[in-house]
Structure 1
Amino acid sequence: MQQQQQHHHAATTAASNGQQNGSTQAEGAEGDGAQAQNGVSEEECVSPKLNTVQQDMVRLIGQHLVELGLRKSADLLMSESGCRLDHPAAARFRHCVMEGEWAKADAALNELRTMLDDANSLKEMRFLLLEQKYLELLEGGQAMEALTCLRSQVTPLQHNMERVHQLSSLMFMSNPEDLRTAARWSGKGKESRKQLMDRLQHFLPPSIMLPPHRLETLILQAVEQQKTQCAYHNSYTDSQVLGSGGSLLTDHSCPRNAFPGTTIQVLSDHCDEVWIARFSPDGFKLATGSKDSTVIIWEVDPETLTVTRRFTLDGHSYGVVYLAWSPDSTKLIVCLQEEAAELMVWDTERGEQICKVSNSPDDSLTCAAWHKDSRRFVCGGMRGQFYQCDLNGQILDSWEGVRVQCLAIQNDGKTVLASDTHHRIRGYHFDEVQDHNIIQEDHSIMSFTLDLTGNYALLNVANQGVHLWDLRNRTLVRKFRGLTQGHYTIHSCFGGEYQNFIASGSEDNKVYIWHHKRELPVVTLSGHTRTVNCVTWNPVYPSMIASVSDDATVRIWGPAPQYRGTNSTRTQNGTSSTSNGRESESPTHAFLSNGAAV
């Protein structure tokens, strides 16, 4: 007890003297020349009882305590351990920045110049300091002082002149709100200075000043690594991200029953083999096409992960072999068997036909893909037709002599990918009339699809199975094993959170699901009684899968009942929202004190 009181007294004394975590509140402490850190002299700052790793751990804990506002606890920890949080000069630098003492901050920065890993960093750090000073002067209505700062301090640095020109244009803004918006700046105060300090810290070696939020970053990296190794991770729920109990105290573990592997619905509305199925990009609709020449549009219920029949698109002359949703989820291209010389484009909101593409009785248009604008598309077939069309059914461009098996358009909006009868995928630029080889297989490519990034392609190859290709490096990444793939056209898909999973039908009547880093399936789904022709994964509700089969049924798969009704959706900016549309932060970041992320 007496020893604890002594430690407490030492910490209190250090705090009263302004000596916290390696710094004094003034520029330096006067006395016998010994610099004090956390109430401990320079000679005593490293305890002989702690090795390097232990000292680093103490510093990380101390930093986290400070970020939580527990500064006295951090001071006591540093005092008792004999460690220091930051180098004294770095601590003075931080203090001056947070207090807006720009001249003193510049002087402290000069002390640190010999400790920087890169000499060029000094100019960037000085520029960031002066930028903050300039903006604070402008916001405070001190236009002349701001102009002097810009002319005599910022401009002579001859650094980031594009930003300097932007800063000079702010001189004419009298409204502080407009100034903050134009400068992409949060305004004078603790928050913007803290953001500035976070940026400045990246230039300092960790031995001098710890990187921002280092402990939290390490924990997040550990969580991400555990998620990567989890075969069933497919959700943003607390229990699955942080551990089996929603806590960092247990290892991450996703229960098998939370993964989509349970039959929720068996739909028998089609009266013949079902060949194709596609969820709409917004996740709210499912389209299924059949040998019976009809397409059924289904409404998705995100809570129950079930579908209800909305309407049927009919009037097609042959069986439906391919479906393509427009990016805006309002239109659907319907491609028919090879014997048909036409394709249809439907308005899926009203159930009305928009147009028909029919150029010649000899045409065969068995596949299609949309441009990003949802107003143009490409289509083709095995008889050598390859067209670019609009919503009036007019052919805008054509490419002669290409026997097309499957189509996709890359994210650049220009490159059309087409698999052909030569076991390859080639890229075509209609505007520039150029083409080039991308992938070469040894067997027929029956179908292929791209992931959301456009960097990877998933191929169903005759007599081989499912192959994953990296389109950037044009290399085969992985061959997935287990399924039976002959010469039937089977459509596979990417799916799950961040599209970490691969799903495919099979001629042995099963659905196979792989983690994208594993060759063997993590889940095999049984239920269909004949060949499974297509599997589609809901792009918004990752716990929902649909499969279609020659047994004339559509099966909806999801988690076990106790794991339904808590689906989260992934938006394009990386946030998640619950199935009722309310946005929520990913639980991965829920425990952070200051928004740090990996």
Structure 2
Amino acid sequence: MQSNGCPQHNGTSGEPASTSQQNGACLTVPNGQHNDNPSQTKPMSQTDQDIVRLIAQHLRGLGLDQTAEQLIKESGCMLEHPAAARLRSHVMDGEWVKAESDLEDLKSLIESSHGLIKMKFMILEQKYLELLEDGREMEALHCLRHELTPMKYNTERVHELSSYMMCCNAEDLRKTANWTGKGVDSRSLLIERLQSFLPPTVMLPPRRLLTLLNQAVELQKDKCPYHNTKIDNNLDAVSLLIDHVCSREQFPSTTIQILTDHCDEVWFCRFSPDGTKLATGSKDGSLIIWEIDMVTYELKHRRSFENHAYGVSFIAWSPDSTHIVACGPDDCSDLWMWNIETGTLRFKMSQSQEDSLTTAAWHADGKKFVTGGIRGQFYQCEITLLMILDGNIMDSWEGVRVQSMAFQVDGKYVLAADTHHRIRGYNFDELTDFNIIQEDQPIMSFTLNEPGRLALLNVATQ
């Protein structure tokens, strides 16, 4: 019996399997067993065989070993190739010599030309670490010198393994080697790594049924026309009995509040990163901060900032939601930074009357930001920590006509949409730039998702 509750040989004898058994497929008489109801059994398609194997694997994962065995017996399907089943059993039991022998039985089925060497190295590596953890230094040294080193494979890793001999105790070893230690977790991880060298017909990928179910739920979410629910990656958060769908009623479509504090067109609005405030900018020259009631989600006027001569057409919140950069329309050369908490103007920047500063983006550290516009200005500014606070232009990029911009999450690059219908990346430290996206029509604005991997574009003709 394996440590995971599976029979050690998956119902097979110890001899290597014949060619007809090497793909883990369903057999009429599997491994000397017979079907109790042969007259009631009809030939199964490949899809049905795969489904049976997936169900059996999942049942074993739940600890329902007898149920899984009955399914295998009645269907005539082998869950895995017999040698693969033995390999799994011997690895989970820590029987390393037998595990190496199993690799020889699987040699003809290993996909990679160097796969056998890599798999053997992984097994010996686990053996060596477990010997060290158990305090059996002499045996570990023998494994290192007479088993790992003669393989002449991954010498750098062998040298690293030899350094673990200096660890003073098991805890130090686990920390230094970034290893979970002897037991089910590390051995299961080893099995997963070994499986990657074998075809799925020989050894099933781990938790394959759950992987497929997760993919199905993701597809349903993508096709949901009114999707407005954050589905947890955990399948426990959804029902598998019906397809996921959000109703139209779940999608925000009802007006719950009308705000009338502005006296002219509202040009821009943006929620704060912490989700507790909303900022709105208007043609009337005012910037209003609204407090959000997190129970009723109604807005309450918290603070107004006036005297933006050309109006407020763009707003950028600082990462900590305490400051705002406000920009005007195309003919505005000024930029304002407001402290939301105190209501004070930190600074007003006007580099040149010929400038057009219409968009901005904050660095993740909150200590600098970039700004620019369609007249060719593109500045990176630093916020000083002096008592008299102002913004200093650190760097500039000449001749870039910017429509919209955003900092990448790592802060190394600024992404900017320009008047050439493209988004380019700019590195101010190295003064390098590169093309990322090219559109046929003007990109008016764009926004990045939280990880910074996806961009949502607002294209002029769409």
User: The TM-score by the shorter chain falls in which range?
Assistant: 0.7 to 0.9
Distance 1:97 1:441, change over 3 A: closer
- Report how far residue 437 of structure 1 moved: 5.9
1:345 to 320, 337, 340: 337
CA distance in structure 2 between the partners assigned to 1:417 and 1:394 by the alignment: 21
- Relative contact order (alpha carbons < 8 A, sep ≥ 6): 1 or 2 greater? 1
CA distance in structure 2 between the partners assigned to 1:117 and 1:45 by the alignment: 32
Q: Is the 8 A contact 1:279 1:287 kept in 2?
A: yes
- Report how far residue 458 of structure 1 moved: 0.6
Instruction: Please give the secondary structure, in 1, of the residue aligned with 2:255.
Output: strand
Number of the residue aligned with 2:3: none
1:398 to 373, 396, 399: 396
Instruction: Please give the secondary structure, in 2, of the residue aligned with 1:97.
Output: helix
Q: Quote the sequence identity (%).
A: 55
Number of the residue aligned with 1:309: 301
Instruction: Please give the secondary structure, in 2, of the residue aligned with 1:312.
Output: strand
Number of the residue aligned with 2:387: none
Number of the residue aligned with 2:72: 78
Number of the residue aligned with 2:281: 289
1:49 to 29, 42, 45: 42
Q: What does residue range 258-407 of structure 1 map to in structure 2 within 5 Å?
A: 258-391=250-383, 392-407=390-405
Instruction: Please give the secondary structure, in 2, of the residue aligned with 1:248.
Output: coil
1:253 to 221, 245, 248: 245
Instruction: Please give the secondary structure, in 2, of the residue aligned with 1:296.
Output: strand
Instruction: Please give the secondary structure, in 2, of the residue aligned with 1:130.
Output: helix
Distance 1:273 1:181, change over 3 A: same
Number of the residue aligned with 2:458: 459
Number of the residue aligned with 1:65: 59
Distance 1:306 1:152, change over 3 A: farther
1:174 to 162, 168, 176: 168
2:214 to 213, 220, 224: 220
Unaligned runs of 5+ in 1: 1-17, 466-598
Q: What does residue range 396-475 of structure 1 map to in structure 2 within 5 Å?
A: 396-411=394-409, 413-421=411-419, 425-434=423-432, 445-452=443-450, 453-456=452-455, 458-461=457-460, 464-465=461-462
- Show CA shifts across 1:187-246 (max 9, x none): 1112221222222222222222222112222222222222222212231358x9979x95
Letter in structure 1 aligned against 2:178: R
Unaligned runs of 5+ in 2: 1-6, 384-389
Letter in structure 2 aligned against 1:269: D
CA distance in structure 2 between the partners assigned to 1:401 and 1:459 by the alignment: 23
Q: What does residue range 95-244 of structure 1 map to in structure 2 within 5 Å?
A: 95-236=89-230
CA distance in structure 2 between the partners assigned to 1:95 and 1:206 by the alignment: 17
| Corresponding position: 1:92 with 2:83 | no
Q: Is the 8 A contact 1:335 1:344 kept in 2?
A: yes
- Report how far residue 444 of structure 1 moved: 5.0
Number of the residue aligned with 2:386: none
- Report how far residue 296 of structure 1 moved: 2.1
TM-score, scaled relative to structure 2: 0.82
CA distance in structure 1 between the partners assigned to 2:70 and 2:81 by the alignment: 17
Q: Is the 8 A contact 2:90 2:96 kept in 1?
A: yes
CA distance in structure 2 between the partners assigned to 1:297 and 1:58 by the alignment: 59
Letter in structure 1 aligned against 2:405: L
Between Structure 1 and Structure 2, which shows a larger proportion of strand residues? 1
Q: Is the 8 A contact 2:214 2:235 kept in 1?
A: no
- Between the two proteins, the alignment pairs up a number of residues equal to 437
- Report how far residue 322 of structure 1 moved: 0.8
Give the CA RMSD over aligned residues. Answer: 3.4
CA distance in structure 1 between the partners assigned to 2:417 and 2:66 by the alignment: 66
TM-score, scaled relative to structure 1: 0.65
More deviation in 332-341 or 84-93? 332-341
Letter in structure 2 aligned against 1:118: S
CA distance in structure 1 between the partners assigned to 2:47 and 2:423 by the alignment: 52
CA distance in structure 1 between the partners assigned to 2:301 and 2:175 by the alignment: 48
Distance 1:179 1:329, change over 3 A: farther
- Report how far residue 303 of structure 1 moved: 4.4
Between Structure 1 and Structure 2, which shows a larger proportion of helix residues? 2
Distance 1:91 1:405, change over 3 A: closer
- Report how far residue 61 of structure 1 moved: 1.7
Instruction: Please give the secondary structure, in 1, of the residue aligned with 2:70.
Output: helix
The runs of at least 4 consecutive aligned structure 1 residues that moved more than 6 Å come to 45-48, 240-243
Q: Is the 8 A contact 1:417 1:426 kept in 2?
A: yes
